[in-house]
Amino acid sequence: MTDNGAEPSDHLRLDQVSMKFGQRTVFENLSFSLPPGEISVIIGGSGSGKSTVLRLIGGLVSPQSGRIVVEGQDISLAGNDVLETARNKIGMLFQGGALLDSLTVFENLALPLREHTDLDDESIATEVHDRLDAVGLSGIDDLLPNQLSGGMRKRVALARAIIRKPSILLCDEPFSGLDPISTRKVEALLVDINRRRGITIVVVSHHVASTMRMASQIVVLLPDGLVVGSPQELQNHNDPRVKAFLTADRDQPSEMVEEVEVLPSGRRT
């Protein structure tokens, strides 16, 4: 059971997961599995629980009931030790980057290596620069996060998320707040990371155009459940709400999208 993904569906799976914050039910009995080595995109209105799904997979919040299987291991009720091991396989790109603002770019990337490996300074520098290269950045070692533009910050955060060579990468709205060019850049990076490193990528996004381009599977979170399918399947789906998402203005979350929103919008959207 705890062996590495014997079943492909055990790679990353939610099983009858119910999640509440206090009185507010975010979702009930949610089940889906995400294919290994592919890019999956989770879409849904704001407050529909997209970020919560990622936080559940990362073990940052625990569900009221249900199982969350990461690489064959149920982490829904796991203690700290199990979580730490599970997180070694997971990289997470937070919406705002979540870089430590008191550390330089270099130190931000070096931190996980210093904490969890015995690498000497030289090897750490090599690794850090390798990852910065991978996201198309160089010469910014000594800058602080607040000296970076939004797009650069996202890319540095992305570099940090993959520095421990995770097998799963979770990205919370990687395109939010980016101009179209940065959006294309980050999208290309995600596709590149997926192809080259074979990492399973789960993206939460409002961005319909890039979703249709890069997703091999789309999960649509609706107030009363969810719809899963490939981009082609969903485009011809007969639920009008799914259509509304996928035919919405291709570069903007449209009014149609907002209409789907039923839950009161959350603090983090």
Site residues (CB under 6 A) for ligand ADP?
21, 24, 26, 44, 46-52, 263, 266-269
Q: At what angle do helices 121-134 and 180-197 cross, to 10 degrees?
A: 120
User: Which of 28, 22, 30 shows the shortest CA–CA distance to 266?
Assistant: 22
Interface pattern 28-67 for another protein (x via CB under 8 A): ---------------------------x--x-x-------
Is the separation of the CB atoms in 170 and 58 below 8 Å? yes
| 51 forms part of the interface with Mg ion (CB under 5 A) | yes
Looking at the Cβ atoms of 123 and 252, the one nearer to Mg ion is: 252
Looking at the Cβ atoms of 79 and 264, the one nearer to ligand ADP is: 264
Partner whose footprint covers residue 174, from Mg ion, ligand ADP, another protein, none (CB < 5 to 8 Å by kind): none
Is the separation of the CB atoms in 71 and 11 below 8 Å? yes
Interface pattern 98-137 for another protein (x via CB under 8 A): xxxx---------xx--xx---------------------
Partner whose footprint covers residue 92, from another protein, Mg ion, ligand ADP, none (CB < 5 to 8 Å by kind): another protein
The region, left, alpha or beta by phi > 0 then psi within -120 to 50, assigned to residue 98 is: left
Looking at the Cβ atoms of 197 and 268, the one nearer to Mg ion is: 268
Q: Which of residues 155-214 bind another protein (CB under 8 A)?
A: 160, 164
Q: Quick one: 109 exposed, middle or buried, by C-beta within 10 A (0-12, 13-18, 19+)? A: buried
User: Which of 134, 251, 132 shows the shortest CA–CA distance to 184?
Assistant: 251
- The three-point CA angle 248-238-66 to 5° equals 90
- Of 76-84, 138-146, 208-216, 261-269, the window that binds Mg ion (rule: CB under 5 A) is 261-269
- The three-point CA angle 25-98-72 to 5° equals 60
Contacting residues toward another protein, per CB under 8 A? 55, 58, 60, 80, 84, 87-88, 90-92, 94-96, 98-101, 111-112, 115-116, 160, 164, 267
